[in-house]
Structure 1
């Protein structure tokens, strides 16, 4: 255990799997108490048993505004404070625009965009009051470079990019750092929704990263001295070319 986050409370959305779970493991290893925010109550209970007493499950459905409103009160009740909030949960729709349905776009946009806005809005008053805190948002390389096979997903991540950096500039004066980690393709459940030819090609070329690579980058962001803000980290597999 490195102890780099000893005494800190970190909350991560989408923590039951993928990048969120990898980040939870990394923060626990660094000495933090980690609030695992997810709607998958059964998975959270399994993870609490596996990860130990410093893993704190909080069940929230990010697609339900009423449920989101319970998130911060639950965090404070169970952990007493919040030092780091990682808005990580998201979903993916790729492929030809005409092959997807607007109703599916709405669900993705609610999770990738609105839930990020709502959850960050919910945690900021606590951080402002304490005059310290970190907000990290999981975005994507698609937030920096339009990816032609995922136009709606790209649009969602561009919205997040604008939100993160406008918010970062508003809240720096309160001692709150806001930044974004933007991976290329990561081997998680989300890439299973890729067009099959794209996924097969990426696997064959070795152009998918492990979620641990993202988690290590997030830990780097969180452990800089308070006079330093890492505003953007873009992480790509070596052979991935956009």
Structure 2
């Protein structure tokens, strides 16, 4: 994998932890310069101290519309170009709809859907002008199955899956590839509300993915020949599918 992304500039939202951090680390290992976008300034500093100049911290609160609108301009100001955008930032609301807090629903839908749409909207003029680019969105297995225990979260991923599939068809003529990754349960902070016994049972049965396994799929998508688009990849622990 070393050198496969030499000369590329990438940006990963929600890049200070979980799938985002694993994606960042894989791209850095492949030779890319990576802008790590997160609201956690302390975590960003620690990561960038570890990886040096190839890792560029960018503190942005994507849920602040004014701050969100500065994402692409700031990246271009820092790096001059952007070859890869991994829209990974997201949040989770699970459980019965009647028990969900409506403000949490608003926040999650904004981050999982609206922010992704705005980030992609803002990067497209730059990529169209250059005639090339890769956009990857972190979706979920929940985008492909009406998951009864998480109707709000699943709905956000169904929406963003439709967005990815339709935008891809609009922009492929400009040399831009758009795809999504749809992992099943991954060991990240999004599982923090799982009951401890359920989480332990899933770990013991091999029913969870590692973030590094998801990052490997991201790299597979990015390193295909330009004439090939991996439009969406569903991945899950084999035992989860039983």
Give the TM-score normalised by the residue count of structure 1: 0.97
Partner SS for 2:234: strand
Q: Which residue of 1 aligns with 2:177?
A: 177
Q: Which residue of 2 aligns with 1:166?
A: 166
Partners of 2:184 and 2:106 in 1: CA distance = 23
| Unmatched runs of 5 consecutive residues or more in structure 1 | none
Partners of 2:106 and 2:142 in 1: CA distance = 18
| Unmatched runs of 5 consecutive residues or more in structure 2 | none
Q: Which residue of 2 aligns with 1:224?
A: 224
Partners of 1:121 and 1:194 in 2: CA distance = 34
Partners of 1:111 and 1:174 in 2: CA distance = 27
Q: Which residue of 1 aligns with 2:108?
A: 108
Count of residue pairs brought into register by the alignment: 242
Alpha-carbon distance, 1:197 to partner: 5.3
Q: Which residue of 1 aligns with 2:53?
A: 53
Partners of 1:196 and 1:55 in 2: CA distance = 34
Deviations 1:116-164 (A, max 9, x none): 1111111111000000000000000001111111110000000000000
Give the TM-score normalised by the residue count of structure 2: 0.97
Deviations 1:39-84 (A, max 9, x none): 1112111111011110011111110110011111111111111000
> Which of 99-108 and 128-137 deviates more?
99-108
Q: How does 1:33-182 map to 2 (within 5 A)?
A: 33-182=33-182
Q: Which residue of 2 aligns with 1:27?
A: 27
Partners of 1:97 and 1:202 in 2: CA distance = 24
